[in-house]
């Protein structure tokens, strides 16, 4: 009897602002801690001037200083074919996302070992289109995961909550307002069966939009005073966005916040800055129409589920933007009850993805939890449709699986030939809610041939849609009189057009990493050559370290200390004095080399060198 090889499986919340990964430990979902004990990885990618590819907090810190070398909020671009430019290089959105997921995979590999396949359940907004879901799956595969399941974010959050509520019978509403997307779902829990009744949302509404409203407000203040629009300057705009996000977060804790930017940009050799006090009331005034839009989605989802506000037993808040007090206030006013906050809103989706991973792997089989979901969009085919009551025209949309239908599901509808002698029928597949296919999203098509030539309407064609929990749609068409059949599966490949597109992404990423490595090596060689010309390398390496603190620290502590010193050195590397700049760059190289080695002795030596030299440089020494 052969043994099945164990393949670890984790749940990933791929967020617009932050991402996280979780796993099941002893029957409980737990977030995997990242560097420095953090549970969230900022979804930002940066390529340093030295050619180093950086993901996470350090990348986000670089967004203000070097926006042209940094990419953030890429989730909003998923499914688009236009490449993004980062440090002069072009990558598709899913390729950038794969770099973020690859960073998360490092921590998974630390737990389970770098050898062997790792599987991931990745979450997406409930309202993501087929293309966006496929781009997400592709990003996971490019990062090195096996991705067999994509699930909706509000469904995942409901699973995180429902795992410990199996005996309850209730309806609960999941209000998921994240950094870039909004979803709302109604879920019914009944004797261990968690059934999603309805979902809706807006994939272009989230905390980032609140930030930009505040950016526009701050920019108008500067225009009033100086006549200059800081949004036309890439670096100034990035600084305003950063300050706006910080102010938004602080206003969730306090009534007022001071915004102080001494130098935002320079005009005629004069610094232009911004100093103002922003109240929570003013911030709410700027974004209230967007928050009220989310309430309209709440009304819509209640209508779809055929429920009233008083039928909802619990409201779950998910996503970092639900920390805004006005959100809680609106929800309480609408439902006349307080929302539940026992699960960290920024962790709920990842925890739920881990629950789905546990159900899939079998580690939670004994929990008794059964989950169903719904189709986020209607899916159907192009048909002839009555037009203005006068005639029929092509391009009409006929749904076969309607939005919010419980999945898995199989539906069949019968159509008839439309003209005399018709021997073939083109089955064109779309998803969306528009009455005409031009308003909807094209998925694929095939041709059913072998229809007997007959008068119009005499031959029947049965079209069957089979949509499963993995988001795979199979469409089959059959000529009823002959049994002639054709089918297509439109969502199971990484790219429905060809595997060549996937290989192109692999090649492009390899070239991206290769060029970054080459830039890093060239920078090191250039700095060392210039240092040698100035005899600085020997001078730096001969620093007397005997009197420095010799307390032994762990490798982890040393790496953390080295990273902090590196940040200080990077600031000094911007110095106009070439000798000082080269000294700082040399320190950075030594710290990078020590961090990469992971050797305690080398780390300690590099830290001692960096500490003494940085103090000298910061105090104006040479």
- Just list the catalytic residues: 13, 75, 153, 176
**How far, in Å, CA of 12 to CA of 101, rounded?**
9
Residue 546 CB neighbour total at 10 angstroms: 6
83 touches 91 (CB < 8 A): yes
- Residue reference for tokens 């909004």: 182
Q: In 3-state terms, what secondary structure has residue 299?
A: helix
Pairing relation of β-strands 84-86 and 89-91?
antiparallel
Ramachandran area for residue 88 (φ above 0: left; ψ -120 to 50: alpha; else beta): left
8-state DSSP, 230: G
ω into residue 109 within 30 of 0, thus cis?
Answer: no
204 touches 172 (CB < 8 A): no
Element (H or E) spanning 423, and its range? none
The shares of helix, strand and coil residues in the chain, as percent rounded to the nearest 5, are 40, 30, 30
**How far, in Å, CA of 603 to CA of 600, rounded?**
5
User: Can you list the alpha helix ranges (DSSP code H) found in 50-144?
Assistant: 57-65, 93-112, 130-142
**How far, in Å, CA of 76 to CA of 263, rounded?**
31
Longest distance between any two alpha carbons in the chain, whole Å: 100
**How far, in Å, CA of 323 to CA of 280, rounded?**
13
340 touches 317 (CB < 8 A): yes
Of 10, 108, 107, 96, nearest in space to 47 by CA: 96
71 touches 45 (CB < 8 A): yes
Residue 453 CB neighbour total at 10 angstroms: 11
**How far, in Å, CA of 446 to CA of 437, rounded?**
16
8-state DSSP, 490: -
Q: What are phi and psi of 277, to 5 degrees?
A: -110, 130
Pairing relation of β-strands 473-479 and 485-489?
antiparallel
Token duo for residue 177 = 């307002």
Rounded to 10 deg, the angle between the 555-572 and 57-65 helix axes is 0
Contacts of 321 (CB under 8 A, 6+ apart): 177, 178, 179, 206, 207, 210, 327
Ramachandran area for residue 135 (φ above 0: left; ψ -120 to 50: alpha; else beta): alpha
Gyration radius of the chain's alpha carbons? 28
């Amino acid at each position: 009897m052969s043994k099945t090889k164990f393949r670890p499986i984790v749940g990933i919340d791929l967020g617009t602002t932050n991402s996280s990964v979780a796993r099941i430990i002893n029957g409980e979902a737990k977030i995997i801690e990242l560097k420095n004990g953090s549970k969230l990885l900022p979804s930002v990618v940066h390529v340093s001037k030295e050619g180093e590819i950086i993901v996470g907090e350090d990348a986000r810190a670089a967004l203000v200083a070097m926006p042209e070398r940094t990419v953030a909020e890429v989730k909003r671009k998923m499914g688009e074919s236009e490449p993004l430019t980062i440090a002069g290089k072009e990558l598709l959105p899913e390729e950038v996302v794969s770099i973020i997921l690859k960073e998360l995979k490092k921590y998974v590999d630390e737990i389970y070992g770098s050898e062997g396949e790792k599987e991931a359940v990745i979450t997406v907004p409930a309202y993501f289109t087929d293309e966006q879901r496929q781009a997400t799956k592709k990003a996971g595969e490019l990062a090195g995961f096996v991705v067999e399941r994509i699930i909706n974010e509000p469904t995942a959050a409901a699973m995180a909550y429902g795992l410990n509520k199996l005996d309850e019978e209730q309806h609960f509403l999941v209000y998921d307002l994240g950094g870039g997307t909004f979803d709302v779902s109604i879920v019914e829990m009944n004797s261990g069966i968690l059934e999603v009744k309805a979902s809706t949302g807006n994939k272009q509404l989230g905390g980032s939009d609140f930030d930009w409203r505040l950016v526009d407000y701050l920019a108008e203040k500067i225009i009033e005073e100086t006549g200059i629009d800081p949004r036309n300057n890439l670096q100034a705009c990035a600084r305003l966005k950063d300050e706006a996000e910080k102010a938004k977060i602080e206003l969730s804790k306090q009534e007022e916040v001071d915004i102080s930017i001494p130098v935002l940009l320079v005009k005629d050799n004069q610094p232009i800055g911004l100093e103002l006090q922003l109240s929570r009331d003013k911030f709410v005034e700027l974004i209230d129409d967007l928050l009220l839009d989310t309430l309209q989605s709440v009304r819509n989802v209640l209508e779809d589920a055929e429920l009233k506000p008083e039928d909802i037993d619990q409201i779950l808040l998910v996503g970092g933007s639900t920390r805004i007090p006005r959100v809680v206030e609106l929800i309480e006013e609408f439902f006349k009850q307080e929302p539940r906050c026992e699960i960290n809103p920024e962790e709920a989706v990842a925890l739920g993805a881990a629950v789905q991973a546990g159900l899939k792997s079998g580690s939670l089989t004994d929990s008794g939890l059964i989950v169903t979901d719904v189709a986020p969009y209607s899916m159907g085919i192009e048909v002839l449709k009555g037009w203005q009551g006068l005639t029929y025209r092509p391009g009409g949309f006929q749904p076969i699986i309607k939005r919010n239908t419980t999945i898995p599901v199989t539906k069949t509808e019968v159509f008839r030939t439309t003209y005399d002698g018709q021997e073939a029928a083109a089955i064109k597949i779309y998803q969306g809610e528009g009455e005409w296919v031009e308003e909807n999203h094209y998925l694929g098509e095939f041709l059913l041939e072998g229809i007997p030539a007959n008068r119009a309407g005499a031959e029947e064609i049965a079209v069957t849609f089979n949509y499963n929990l993995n988001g795979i749609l199979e469409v089959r068409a059959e000529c009823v009189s002959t049994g002639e059949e054709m089918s297509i599966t439109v969502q199971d490949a990484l790219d429905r057009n060809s595997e060549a597109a996937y290989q192109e992404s692999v090649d492009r990423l390899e070239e991206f990493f290769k060029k970054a490595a080459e830039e890093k090596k060239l920078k090191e060689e250039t700095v060392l050559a210039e240092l040698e010309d100035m005899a600085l390398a020997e001078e730096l390496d001969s620093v007397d370290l005997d009197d420095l603190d010799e307390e032994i620290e762990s490798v982890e502590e040393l790496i953390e200390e080295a990273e902090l010193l590196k940040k200080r050195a990077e600031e000094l590397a911007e110095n106009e004095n070439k000798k000082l700049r080269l000294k700082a760059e040399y320190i950075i190289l030594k710290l990078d080399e020590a961090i990469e080695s992971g050797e305690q002795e080398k780390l300690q030596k590099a830290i001692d060198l960096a500490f003494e030299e940085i103090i000298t440089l910061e105090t104006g020494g040479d």
